[in-house]
Every structure is written in structure tokens, then in C-alpha cells.
Structure 1
Amino acid sequence: MNRLLVLETIIQMQSFTKAAKVLGYTQSSVSQMVAGLEKEFGIQILKRSRNGVSLTAEGAEIYPLIIQTLRQYQALQERAAALTGLKTGTVRIGAITSVSCYWLPELFKSFKEMYPNIEFVLQQGDYGMILTWLKNGEIDFGLMTANYGEGFNKVILHTTEMKAFLPSGHPLTKLDQIPLRKLTSDPFILVEGGGYAEPIEAFQKSGLLPNVRYRIQDDYTIMSMVEAGLGISILSELVASRTNFDVQVRSVEPKIERPVAIIYRDKATLPIASQHFIDFLIQHKKELL
């Protein structure tokens, strides 16, 4: 299993040297373990280039199975540990920016107070990335909107509102609630998550077409652009809860809501630590703002 873990770390770090440092091996040992895997499977798994290390076409074919094998072994280890209580384990989560920034730090802290030896691996990404990680077994579960991810199990934690973000002094800031049709003239900065875009769907449902000038994945970049007067946007209300950007936030009509959910395949097959953390999230969902 060590060789599989080494391979996963190399892919994550995109470097033999960095992977060796993280895992506490020599670079020579790491290279030998990968060479042993390639010899065992009879294919070249990795290739090196100026941009770092990546999977070959053949490596990409078997990598999801390698990750699945690793997770099953780790689940076995944690299941054995669970017989004497939840002492160790790793929780692998994929989350959208607003959730990873505004919810998870305090939740991680509270959970680790109860289980100090539990480790968290957090990957921040858009909707498309999170769904891909779930399919490939790279994460145990995702935290994102429940509107996407057909075929996965979902538990809604909280329904947040998506609001209009405007530069200070914009004429529409005089309104407490802005009709969606009034947001179609200004340059629109679209928050897009791997091909999924809730604001676009809201405009389409109302028979409207926004003037999309920019497509950005990062909420903070969008707020900076709005502050600079480059356009307007629609973002989660969570983003407005902790920001020093000079922007104005208003509700839109009709209201756009985003149900944030835990998304996973089969809870029973997840590592024990992840099962416990999912239960913890559900127990504390009323505390989420």
C-alpha cells in the first residue's frame, strides 16, 4: 500500500522531490517504488515534463482504481481502530469556496477538540471538480449545491440565498430588492463552477439574458472586480458575511436560493472518520449561518 500512497502523493504534489519530503522518504526510494509499480503492472504510469509530473494515458486509466484501493484499505484500518473508539483517521473533503472559507474552519476546530488525532484533507474546487473527485474516489464527500450531482446521495445542510453584488454608488443600490431584469444591462461577472452556473439558470428561467463579460471561479476576484466598477455579479450571501470589499449587496427578485449539501456515494463504505464527521455536520447544521 505504501507504493500506492507514494503514487497518490506524487500526483498531488506533481513532484517526486516534494512527495519524498512530505512522506519522509528519499527521492531515490520514491523513484524505486514507482518503478516497482510500473514493472508490476507492465505499463508506464508517470511521465515527467517541464511542468512537473503527470499521468500517462495508461496511468490515467488505472489511477481511479488505485485511489479506490487506497481508500478501501484506509477504511479497513479505520474500521479496526473504531472497535476501540475513533482515535485516528483522515477525512477527505471537496468543498466550494464559500463553504471552505466560512463554515469549515470552525467545524474542523470543534471536531478536533473531540477527536484530536483526526486529520482533514480539504480540496477546494468548483462543482465540476468536486463531482469528478467524487467519481474518482479522490474525496470521501463533497460540500456544494444540491442542485447538481445526479446519482449521488445528498443531505441538505443549509439553504443560502444568492444576492446581487454591486459597486458602491451604483443606481440600483437605492433598491432594497432588485428585479432580475434590471441586472441584464450592466457588464455581468459570472461565477461559474465547472460548467454549472446558478445565476445563468435563474436568468434563463425568467426568459432573460445577462450581459456576461467575465467568467470567474473565485469569489474574491469577482468582488475585487465589482469594487473596481468592472461589472456586477450574483454570489452566495456567505461571501458577504466576511468581506472588507467596498461593494453593496442586495436581494434579487425572484429570489435565487442555493441548497448546500453533503454529497457522497455510499456512506456505509466511507472511512469511519468521514462517517463521524458527516454525522457531526448534520448535528450542527442549525448553527450554520
Structure 2
Amino acid sequence: MAVTLRQLAVFAAVAEHGGFGAAATALGLGQSSVSHSLAALETAVHGEVVRRATPVRLTPLGELLLPHARATLTAARGFDAAATTYAGTAATATISLSVPPTVARGLLPGLLRLWHERLPQVEITVFEAVDDEIAQWLESGTVDASFLIDPDPFPVGGLHVATDAYEAVVRTDHPLAGEPQVDLADLLDDPLLVTTSGFVAPLEHLHATAGVPYRPARHIRELATVLSMVEAGLGVAILPSLAAAMLPDALTLVPLRPRLERRLVLTGPTTRPWHPSVVTLRDLAADLAGTSGGRRTRR
């Protein structure tokens, strides 16, 4: 099958940007070149991969092939980087990194500053995603690296960057605000607002450990919506302490008893070689994590 990397790059860009013009701009190509490359790809695979509409939509064939296209492009970038590194040349690179929202706001800014200072030639594109999406994106090749929460087993080559704990989110005028620590049972009088973006299982575990019933008043996907509802006085929430960076002035965190921690692990994929720049980013992050008990497994 005569499929080229350029055709795959065009396909991925059209899918990501939702149109031919936007994809052309992102790739630095003319729109006619984008259209021609995509048409050639569709000829090679014997079917349409997108529906020409506004915005462009993937066909079932496109949905099937897009993860493979992204994985191939990721592997090709890694191949080029490995060859350049072997030759002793400092190469520019673009690394895609997926992170949960709390990590993006509470932990990532410091790492981005460190990486930019030490590796100015490496551009890092950050994608926020919920826990399930993060693992899928990493293994499919959509991203080069990810922050995983409590991965089991611990990934080979992964770096334990930090640990934080789940705490109660309440209004600053709540009776429990300002307490040094509260029992989970103390929250039972308030409606519990739970985000479904990766927090249901740990909260179920936390309640089981404490021996108190898990009775969420509402399940909400978006973390920002949960915080808005707590701010409006509609209940309380339980979130990792890194969420402190996301709280408005009207909300505060209160440590919980029992304490439930989570590990934040920076890693590359498990099913293919890491991009060389991801290895370098991990090693730089290890310097920062070393002061907070982080650890790295060998790769």
C-alpha cells in the first residue's frame, strides 16, 4: 500500500483541526496540497476517511485508521530524533504531553519552566484529558508522554514525580473551613458533588476505608462545573490537593481523615520505544522530583 508519511500527517491534521484550511495552515501547506494528499490516501485505502462538511467529520474508516496514523507519525518522529541524537546533533522536537486537569494547573507549570530553560529547542504541546483518555492516547500514539495517576503496574522507565492527597473542597464560610483536619464522616450532612473525570473509584475506596456510606448527590463530568456548584453553595467536593491552583477565592481545601494519596507518574508508552526527548524531559524532571521523594525505574 503506497501510503506516505505526508499523507498521514495531512489526515491527522485535518482530523485534529476540523477542516482543510486549518490543516493547511498548521502544516504550512497550500489547501490544494492538503486536498490532493488526502485524496491520494483515500485512493490507497480504498475508501473515504473524512466527510467533506463543516466541520470535517471522520468516517467509520477514518475512525479506524486515525489511531494508526498517529502512532506511525509518532514513531517516525522518534526515528528521526534517535538518528539525530546518535549523530550528536541537537535537534528541535515537538513533544505532545497529556495530563489530568489538576496536574496541568498544580504541577505542570514548574516543570514547563524547567524544561524550557534547559531544553529551549523542544516544544511541548499539552493536552488535558481525563484519566481513561490519557492512557489510551499514550498507547495509541496520539501523545508522546503522559502523567498517569497510580499506574499499576508501575511503567518501566516511569518517574514518580509527586504525591498528593484527597481533601475536602468547601466554601470559606463553611463551618469546617479552617479546620486542620476533618473526618470524612463530617461531610455526610452536605450534598457530595463528584466529578466523573477519574474520581469516582478513589472516592468509593476512600468511603469504604472510612466505613461511611458513599452517597453522591450529583455526578458531573467537568471539574470546573463541580467547583462552580460548590461555590454556589450546592454542596461539597473531594479533590486532590493539587486542585488548590484551580480554586476561586471563595473556596478552600480541608485535609481529610483517613488520608488517601495518589501517585503522579510521568512516563512514555509501554508498547513502543520512547521519543529521545521524552527520556531527556523525564531525566530533568527527576532532578525536581528528587527533593520530594520521586523515583524512576530503569529503561
TM-score (norm 1): 0.89
Q: Counterpart of 1:65 in structure 2: which amino acid?
A: H
Equivalence map 1:64-213=2 (5 Å): 64-82=67-85, 83-146=87-150, 148=151, 152-153=155-156, 154-173=158-177, 175-193=179-197, 197-213=201-217
Moved over 6 A (4+): none
The residue that corresponds to 1:41 in the other structure is 45
The residue that corresponds to 1:280 in the other structure is 284
Shift of 1:231: 0.8
The residue that corresponds to 2:63 in the other structure is 60
The residue that corresponds to 2:227 in the other structure is 223
Segment of structure 1 superposing worse, 161-170 or 109-118: 109-118
Q: Residue 196 and residue 42 in structure 1: after superposition, are their counterparts in 2 closer, same or farther (change >3 A)?
A: farther
Correspondence 1:31 to 2:35: yes
Q: Residue 264 and residue 201 in structure 1: after superposition, are their counterparts in 2 closer, same or farther (change >3 A)?
A: farther
How far apart in 1 are the matches of 2:193 and 2:52? 37
Q: Counterpart of 1:78 in structure 2: which amino acid?
A: A
Shift of 1:287: 5.3
Which secondary structure state, in structure 2, belongs to the residue aligned with residue 210 of structure 1? coil
Given that 2:209 and 2:258 are in contact with CA atoms closer than 8 Å, whether structure 1 keeps it comes out as: no
Q: Residue 119 and residue 68 in structure 1: after superposition, are their counterparts in 2 closer, same or farther (change >3 A)?
A: same
TM-score (norm 2): 0.86
Segment of structure 1 superposing worse, 164-173 or 121-130: 164-173
> 1:54-82, CA deviations, whole angstroms, 9 ceiling, x for partnerless residues?
32212222222222211111111111221
The residue that corresponds to 1:235 in the other structure is 239
Which secondary structure state, in structure 1, belongs to the residue aligned with residue 216 of structure 2? strand
Given that 1:144 and 1:263 are in contact with CA atoms closer than 8 Å, whether structure 2 keeps it comes out as: yes
Shift of 1:165: 0.8
How far apart in 2 are the matches of 1:217 and 1:62? 28
Shift of 1:152: 4.5
Given that 1:163 and 1:251 are in contact with CA atoms closer than 8 Å, whether structure 2 keeps it comes out as: yes
Given that 2:138 and 2:146 are in contact with CA atoms closer than 8 Å, whether structure 1 keeps it comes out as: yes
Segment of structure 1 superposing worse, 71-80 or 179-188: 179-188
Gaps of 5+ in 1: none
The residue that corresponds to 2:249 in the other structure is 245
> 1:244-283, CA deviations, whole angstroms, 9 ceiling, x for partnerless residues?
4212321111012111112433497111111111111122
**Percent identity at matched positions?**
24
Q: Counterpart of 1:137 in structure 2: which amino acid?
A: G
How far apart in 2 are the matches of 1:163 and 1:150? 25
Given that 1:267 and 1:275 are in contact with CA atoms closer than 8 Å, whether structure 2 keeps it comes out as: no
Shift of 1:20: 1.2
How far apart in 2 are the matches of 1:247 and 1:195? 19
Gaps of 5+ in 2: 294-299
Correspondence 1:14 to 2:23: no
How far apart in 1 are the matches of 2:255 and 2:246? 17
How far apart in 1 are the matches of 2:146 and 2:224? 21
